[in-house]
Amino acid sequence: MQNYTQDPRSSGLMTGLIAGAVVGAGVGAVVALWLAPDAAAEVRQRMLAAGRALGRRTSGQCEALGAQVGSAVDELTRHAQDVRDGMADAVTRGAQAVERQAAAVKGASRPHSL
């Protein structure tokens, strides 16, 4: 039977290579921006402009979403009030029916005087 385990040294080598590539890319970006300050300023301006544009789009979408949520809450409130009013009417009708029944029982149980 063959054993297919990975050599721990090759895993460490791969991790080292990946870490070295990431660090090298970061150092290269910093050196490029340092050596070309005009390009760095342009990149900063582009990033700021993109951030502002994203903020405007997001703000508009949040306002639209807020209006939709507000409409949904208003509709839900109206529906809940209709349900509440219907329940109050049903309770009132039930109480009136009980009152009529009680009066009928009370009237039927009175002794008749001669």
4 has pLDDT over 60: no
> Does residue 71 sit within a domain?
yes
Q: Total structural domains in the chain?
A: 1
> Does residue 30 sit within a domain?
yes
> Does residue 19 sit within a domain?
no
Q: Domain of 48?
A: 24-107
The pLDDT assigned to 31 comes to 82
> Does residue 76 sit within a domain?
yes
CA 102 to chain centre: 54
Model confidence over 71-113: pLDDT tens digits? 999 999 999 999 999 999 999 999 999 999 999 888 877 665 5
Model confidence over 41-52: pLDDT tens digits? 787 888 889 989
Phi, psi torsion values for 2, nearest 5 degrees: -95, 145
1 has pLDDT over 70: no
3 has pLDDT over 70: no
DSSP state of 6: P
Q: How many other C-beta atoms are found inside a 10 Å radius of the C-beta of residue 64?
A: 10
**Would you mind telling me the total number of residues written for the chain in this entry?**
114
Return d(Cα 57, Cα 65) in angstroms, integer: 12
The pLDDT assigned to 106 comes to 85
